[in-house]
Amino acid sequence: MLPLESSTKDGVSKRRIRARVLGPGACLVALVVGVGGCSLTKTDGLAGDALRTDGLDAAHDPDGRSDTSDDGDGGTGDGNAPANTRCPGKGAAMVLVESVAKVAYCIDSTEVTQAQYQEFLDATGGSYGQPAECANNLSLAPVNGCGQHAPTTRGQYPVTCVDWCDARAYCDWAGKRLCGKIGGGPVIGYAAPNEVEWTAACSKNGTRAFPYGTAYVAGACNDKTLDAGIAPVASFTGCEGASTALFDMSGNVREWINACDDGGANRSCVCVGGAFNSTPPATGDPLTTDLSCAPGDSFHPPASSWGDDLGFRCCRDALDAP
């Protein structure tokens, strides 16, 4: 684990995540099938134990244009994902997913973009009701000087430099939720891949190590092998899956999910999916990279952390079929 840097977010103390690469010893907090438990040592303010949680509470196209058309199985509309009336909400068009237990839910087709996040800031004036654990989060704006936040010129790039509470607030405003447990609520304790919204969608209910298949494919998604930096969402057509029109579940930017170790202001929360600066798996083993669909890699920094490689996407329950 690399250390955090102290900084401020509109005058509020925050901790910046330095660019990092997980090594072969990386521990997964909610494990892929057939892998046993593990724990971490606290280092420089990062969380120590394998994931523990205690019950935190926690359709537009990428240009922000509302699209609720539906042709039964979802028309293409003008967004990246098929529109579906079972998955309403602001922001990214959503993909309808069915769990192993036949529970239907929705997940954003892409990471939340700068344009979509700016719409939230404009609509709320940068102020939005937050739960007690986010009482110290006095600003929802991306951290000044972090990354390249320019929604008018980089609107299709994922928003970064936001902390866990920012992500939770946006998803709530959008009529969605920060991805957590299938059926709603936070991930609590050990969770199998098919029990976590983000991971089940990425891994096709635990049957894949990567969104596009069982083995790593160099260049399929935006990671360190390309050395391309952050890309606009849905730029990599080979990084689609495990559902049609579900993009960037591996690489581009890491994503906050609703899986935290306690309810305090200093809790640590899980980031998943890897980023543009993540290294590929050593010897092909998906457990040696944070680019895999494993439900939450070992990287779970304090909720107040932020980084130029850290964003999020949202989930929600699907409406009943007509």
Q: Which amino acid is present at 81?
A: A
Kindly write down the DSSP assignment for every residue of 198-261, as one continuous string: HHHHHHTTTT-SBTTBSS--TTSSBSTTT---S--TT--GGGB-SSTT-B-SSBSSEEEEEEES
State if pTM tops 0.85. no
The pLDDT, as a whole number, for residue 163 is 97
The residues with which 66 forms a beta bridge, in sequence order, are: 60
The pLDDT, as a whole number, for residue 126 is 92
Write out the residue range of the structural domain in which residue 195 sits.
Answer: 1-322
Contacts of residue 110, defined as CB under 8 A and 6 or more positions apart, other chains included, come to: 62, 80, 81, 92, 158, 233, 234, 247, 248, 313
The pLDDT, as a whole number, for residue 69 is 32
CATH of the domain at 39: 3.90.1580
The pLDDT, as a whole number, for residue 82 is 53
Residues of the chain under the 70 pLDDT cut: 1-83, 284, 295-298
Question: CB–CB of 270/49 below 8 Å?
Answer: no
pLDDT per residue as tens digits for the range 156-212: 999 999 999 999 999 999 999 999 999 999 998 778 888 999 999 999 999 999 999
- DSSP state, residue 66: B
Q: What is the total count of domains within the chain?
A: 1
